[in-house]
Amino acid sequence: MGMTALIEARGLRVRLGGRLLLDGVDIDLRRGEVLVLVGPNGAGKSTLLAALVGDIPLDGGDVRLLGEPIARTGRRDLARTRAVLLQANEVSFPFTVSEVVEMGRTPWRGHPLEADDDVVIAASLADAEVEHLAARRTTELSGGERSRAALARTLAQAAPVLVLDEPTAALDIRHQERVLLRARAHASAGGAALIVLHDLNLAAAHADRIAVLHDGRLRVVDSPARALDASLLTEVYGHPVRVIAPFPGEPPLVVPDRSAAPAALADVVRTGIAHVLPPEGTAS
């Protein structure tokens, strides 16, 4: 296992409800990198993320966090080492944004770094651009604002491993870029970021390495230029894909290959339209 890895996983197997969700996954998260997990719905991305941070039991394999078996790491030490932003980040009670972000400092209670709480909370509010919402109740916020408040809470945890599951889903283009640039800054400062994304072009633009997951198995873990292979993506996503060669210094661009779309797809579209439109000449 690599000396620079913050998370090291070998032979991961996870079975839930009798279904094998991960099957023999080997992967590392290296210090200083942004690693992005991609794959179709149901590929096992969120399951792999949960396995890597110690949130679900394993049926096989081993995960090490900072060189130590994650299964033997206490909850407080886990919370000080990896900060996790899940897809579902709803707050059940009408806490203010400031109170929600303060919750991210809970692992540091009783630790000398508790003295940094005010500074870290203020920086996290600013990083997520929610400082102007600090006194607002989370129940009053839009979906994107709630997502940014949850990100600020995750940043306030100040853990070396930053784990984000679909952090850009509810965000506009400015905040999508800002979140991923913040992850890059975190990695550049000596931490690492593990991110699940559906948008392959965001992955191409911001990842050091991309891991393509399909049916619970890793198909490739490599640089964006090598991982985003048109033939592989066409197979994995079950839809024709083109990868456009970038201009110098630019990431590859992934687009649907509509010229090669199967005839069956066109038939589905025509059938669907027929169901919702009345026959021509029929009075409404």
The pLDDT assigned to 17 comes to 86
The answer, yes or no, to whether residue 284 has pLDDT greater than 60, is no
pTM > 0.85 = yes
Question: Is the CATH code 3.90.228.20 the one for domain 1-66+201-284?
Answer: no
More confident residue, 142 or 276: 142
| DSSP secondary structure letters along the chain | --TTEEEEEEEEEEEETTEEEEEEEEEEEETT-EEEEE-STTSSHHHHHHHHTT-S--SEEEEEETTEEGGGS-HHHHHHHEEEE-S----SS--BHHHHHHHTTGGGTTSGGGGGHHHHHHHHHHHTT-GGGTTSBGGGS-HHHHHHHHHHHHHHT--SEEEEESTTTT--HHHHHHHHHHHHHHHHTT-EEEEE-S-HHHHHHH-SEEEEEETTEEEEEE-HHHH--HHHHHHHHTS-EEEEPPPTTS--EEEE-GGG--HHHHHHHHHHHHHHSPPTT---
| Residues 17-62 pLDDT 10s | 889 999 999 999 999 999 999 999 999 999 999 999 999 999 999 9
| Residues 118-128 pLDDT 10s | 999 999 999 99
Confidence of residue 2 (pLDDT cuts 50, 70, 90): very low
The answer, yes or no, to whether residue 92 has pLDDT greater than 80, is no
